[in-house]
Amino acid sequence: QHNRALEAGSDFLKGGPKQLYINGEYSAAASGKTYWVNNPTTGQPLAEIADGNVLDVDRAVAAAQAAFEGDWARVKPQGRQQLLLRIADLVERHYDELAALDTLNMGAPLTRTRAMRSRALSLLRFYAGLATMPHGATIPNSVPGNVLSYTVKEPVGVVGAITPWNGPLTLGIWKIAPALAAGCTVVLKPSEQTPLSSLRLAELCTEAGLPPGVLNVITGQGVVGAALSAHRGVNKITFTGSTDVGQRIIAASAGNVKRLSLELGGKSPNIVFADADLDLAVPAAAMAVFANSGQVCSAGTRLFVQRQVYDEFVERVAAFGSQLVVGDPADPETNLGPLVSERHLSKVVSYLDIGHAEGARALCGGERCTSEPFDSGYFVRPTVFADVTDEMRIAREEIFGPVISALPFDDIDEVLRRANDSDLGLGSGVWTKSLKTAHKMSQGLRAGSVWVNCYQAMDAAVPFGGYKMSGYGRESGLEHIEEFLETKAIWLNI
């Protein structure tokens, strides 16, 4: 019965290996090689994928360049707007299929991938709306004579978009929608583990009327991303992924001084003051980490709780975590599906071992699910570690699994200093009824988002991004379309 819920994705999986998508059609990888991705729920092979390399990147970039200078350059902003709206309509019509592909491919519960529908659609429609917005200004100047100066906004050119596996469809759309609205062309490199929905999306874009070469998809390993980052024909890289790979992209992109936007890792503090509405904060603090099995960049993994309520609060969070259902992602009752891959499972389990060895106390979870029917999939129980101190690795390093590190604190200045004592600065949460505390924390936290009495609220209109080593550039909002535009100053001596 649960498998039936995933049938929407089965047609796309039929046939031979999934090919690269270049210039509006499928094409085999230059090497002729393929690789398999597994279904993380069962550990069984799911799909055979073309293993792209540098030569494929050359072909895709050439197609994107030709489109940028040719057909796409002739499409007016209003035309791009209409196209994005048509893409949104097709994504809406085929959404169940896209959600099923992501669930099969990365294990997120179907309830979650389906709930991301509104996010995917609102991104496409928001940036459709903005396609006609970029404009320059006429600016008075002090040059003698009658010299007019004005600015125009122009698309930056060919964009390499590199995405991770934790939200395959929406993370791709998040980059593609503003890039197309700005008039850029795109070579998308999805995570090697989760390319399916990106390929289907590219087909839908063609069906919507997007000219060939405007959106290309090259599947394969990190070498594809590295080749895009170094390619002289690529004008900008927009990347979401680990800080480690982000740093490699910065180095690789130096050759032609590419524009970069980097959405990198997080170790976000979620801070609960004793005066907070604890009934609201308990489930929110738990789901700030357990949603998507902890595979969320802005997860509130450092849970600071004021000492007066610390014991009670962490026990309540652990009790909440213990009753969450870990299991088949197609089952509507499931709260946590598997982790994305065996390799990622090993990483998360190694951090559970580190937590135990460092002397943290697991109030719930703390282990892999080994009993049937989960023994062949990549399942981990939601974990709350108490008695964590700031120096422990589980309090400093990104685990990217359902693991909360709970730390007590005494006063506001202390917690602000400790929360900011991290190289990363993506999200942050504050729970309090005091307006003064809320303001002081919001102003003091060094992070791209501060959520007060909520966590991970998102909207296509509100910018999101990192401070410090969590990256630079912003996604969503007006800021995001600017990331794909150049400003040209024109001087006219008349």
In whole angstroms, give the CA distance from residue 86 to residue 78.
12
Structure token pair of residue 193: 């583990």
What's the closest the beta carbon of residue 5 comes to ligand NAD, in angstroms? Answer: 25
Nearer to ligand NAD, 264 or 318 (CB): 264
- Which residue has the closest beta carbon to ligand NAD? 225
What's the closest the beta carbon of residue 220 comes to ligand NAD, in angstroms? Answer: 8
In whole angstroms, give the CA distance from residue 161 to residue 91.
19
In whole angstroms, give the CA distance from residue 467 to residue 109.
30
Q: Is 294 in the site for ligand NAD (CB under 6 A)?
A: no
Q: Do 56 and 29 contact (CB within 8 A), yes or no?
A: yes
Q: Is 477 in the site for ligand NAD (CB under 6 A)?
A: no
Q: Is 268 in the site for ligand NAD (CB under 6 A)?
A: no
Buried b (16+ CB within 10 A) or exposed e, 53-64: bbebbebbbbbb
Q: Is 240 in the site for ligand NAD (CB under 6 A)?
A: yes
CA dihedral 250→256→258→262, nearest 10 degrees, is: -10
Size of the site for ligand NAD (CB under 6 A): 29
Nearer to ligand NAD, 57 or 362 (CB): 57
Q: How many CB atoms lie within 10 A of CB 33?
A: 14
Q: Do 483 and 153 contact (CB within 8 A), yes or no?
A: no
Q: Is 109 in the site for ligand NAD (CB under 6 A)?
A: no
Assess whether 263 carries a catalytic annotation: yes
Nearer to ligand NAD, 304 or 400 (CB): 400
Sign of CA dihedral 170, 175, 180, 182: positive
Q: Is 416 in the site for ligand NAD (CB under 6 A)?
A: no
Task: Choose among 359, 363, 354, 279: nearest CA to 318.
Answer: 363
What's the closest the beta carbon of residue 349 comes to ligand NAD, in angstroms? Answer: 16
Q: Is 191 in the site for ligand NAD (CB under 6 A)?
A: yes
Interacting residue with ligand NAD among 33, 248, 440, 446 (CB under 6 A): 248
Q: Is 426 in the site for ligand NAD (CB under 6 A)?
A: yes
Q: Do 477 and 461 contact (CB within 8 A), yes or no?
A: yes
Task: Choose among 315, 396, 325, 308: nearest CA to 361.
Answer: 315
3-state helix, strand, coil in the chain (%, to 5): 45, 20, 35
Footprint on residues 393-412 left by ligand NAD (CB under 6 A)? 398, 400
In whole angstroms, give the CA distance from residue 328 to residue 109.
8
Q: Is 328 in the site for ligand NAD (CB under 6 A)?
A: no
Interacting residue with ligand NAD among 51, 192, 328, 483 (CB under 6 A): 192
Q: Stretches 25-33, 113-121, 185-193, 328-336: which one binds ligand NAD (CB under 6 A)?
A: 185-193
- Rounded to 5 degrees, what angle do the CA atoms 390, 395, 398 make? 150
Q: How far from the centroid of its chain's Cα atoms is residue 489's Cα? A: 34
Q: Stretches 101-109, 125-133, 223-231, 415-423: which one binds ligand NAD (CB under 6 A)?
A: 223-231
Interacting residue with ligand NAD among 83, 101, 245, 360 (CB under 6 A): 245
Residue 145 has phi, psi (to 5 degrees) of 90, -170
Nearer to ligand NAD, 83 or 179 (CB): 179
Interacting residue with ligand NAD among 157, 211, 265, 294 (CB under 6 A): 265
Interacting residue with ligand NAD among 91, 110, 226, 404 (CB under 6 A): 226
In whole angstroms, give the CA distance from residue 292 to residue 167.
9
* Catalytic one of 97, 192, 263, 398: 263
Q: Is 282 in the site for ligand NAD (CB under 6 A)?
A: no
What's the closest the beta carbon of residue 273 comes to ligand NAD, in angstroms? Answer: 26
Hunting for tokens 């350059």 — which residue is that? 73
Q: Stretches 93-101, 200-208, 237-245, 357-365: which one binds ligand NAD (CB under 6 A)?
A: 237-245
In whole angstroms, give the CA distance from residue 276 to residue 281.
7
Q: How many CB atoms lie within 10 A of CB 463?
A: 15
Nearer to ligand NAD, 5 or 426 (CB): 426
Q: Is 377 in the site for ligand NAD (CB under 6 A)?
A: no
Q: Is 241 in the site for ligand NAD (CB under 6 A)?
A: yes
Question: Side chain identity at 64, as an amino acid letter?
Answer: A
Q: Is 270 in the site for ligand NAD (CB under 6 A)?
A: no
Question: From residue 427 to residue 466, what is the string marking binding to ligand NAD with x (rule CB under 6 A)?
Answer: ---------------------------------------x
What's the closest the beta carbon of residue 464 comes to ligand NAD, in angstroms? Answer: 7
Q: Do 61 and 20 contact (CB within 8 A), yes or no?
A: no
Peptide bond into 373 cis (omega under 30): yes
Q: Do 392 and 360 contact (CB within 8 A), yes or no?
A: yes
The site for ligand NAD (CB under 6 A) is made up of 162-166, 189, 191-192, 221-222, 225-226, 229, 240-242, 245, 248-249, 263-266, 297, 398, 400, 426, 466, 471
- Residues with catalytic function: 263
